[in-house]
Amino acid sequence: MSEDRLKIGEVELRSRLFLGTAGYPSPDALGRAIEVSDPGLITVSLRRENAGGSGQRFWDILKDFDIPVLPNTAGCFSVKEAVTTAEMAREVFGTNWIKLEVIGDDYTLQPDPFGLLEAAEELIARGFEVFPYMTDDLILGERLSVAGCHILMPWGAPIGSGRGLNNPYALKFLRERFVQKTLVVDAGIGAPSHAAAAMEMGYDAVLLNTAVSKAVDPAAMAGAFAKAITAGREGYLAGLIEAQEKATASTPLLDKPFWHQ
């Protein structure tokens, strides 16, 4: 459905699936997952890939695909660290896009809302298009929007937890409040059904990593997520019926059958 493609700035993405690149069993497994799912964006952690020593093969795989790269500041716990990493990523990848992570808690990897806002303001002033990884907090979303963020990326659940959408009410409220923003559910997705549910709420995209990279068959799982995201989006556009407490007959009763008379 080319007429329904997501655009970020002047860039038209060919899919509403955003795929992370960390934790795959091999570079070839990553390549197959990308090939099968054909994501709209590929996210890359500059710090982790450099530390992981995955080598030239990793970079060659990314270059083989004509898919925009979204570098991120994964592993950063301070504003200074995140800003420095973002500047390095811009130099390496030649893009002003940055997925901004400023982690505040070691256990849950929950974003630090204060550091996130400060770093976002600084990076926007430096000309970045900031994709902030945030909790589902409404006020934080408001402050990031005022700072100049055109995209908001609330978590579904803690990173890598696979719990899905922990707080559907908050996610729905964000979608209703930020009608003109691009909203992406990022983190905690564990099953294709979770991704479909996010898209049925009207979210613009879903970002995945662990659910695919740690699957028994990453390529097959990536393909399943791609289908679920498409189905969820098409269901949202088609117009989902409202849930209700009582049953409603799908077949109208014109009269009773003759044997009831």
- Residues labelled as active-site residues: 99
**Amino acid residing at 183:** L
Structure tokens at 107: 């256990």
* Spatial separation of the C-alpha atoms in residues 208 and 76, rounded to whole Å: 19
Residues paired with residue 186 on neighbouring β-strands, in sequence order: 207
Kindly state the tokens that stand for 115.
């550091």
Q: Tell how strand 205-208 and strand 69-72 pair up.
A: unpaired
> Is residue 117 classed as helix, strand or coil in its secondary structure?
helix
Per DSSP, 209 falls in state S
Give the count of beta carbons closer than 10 Å to the beta carbon of residue 220. 15
Residue 172, Cβ density class (10 Å: 0-12 exposed, 13-18 middle, ≥19 buried): middle
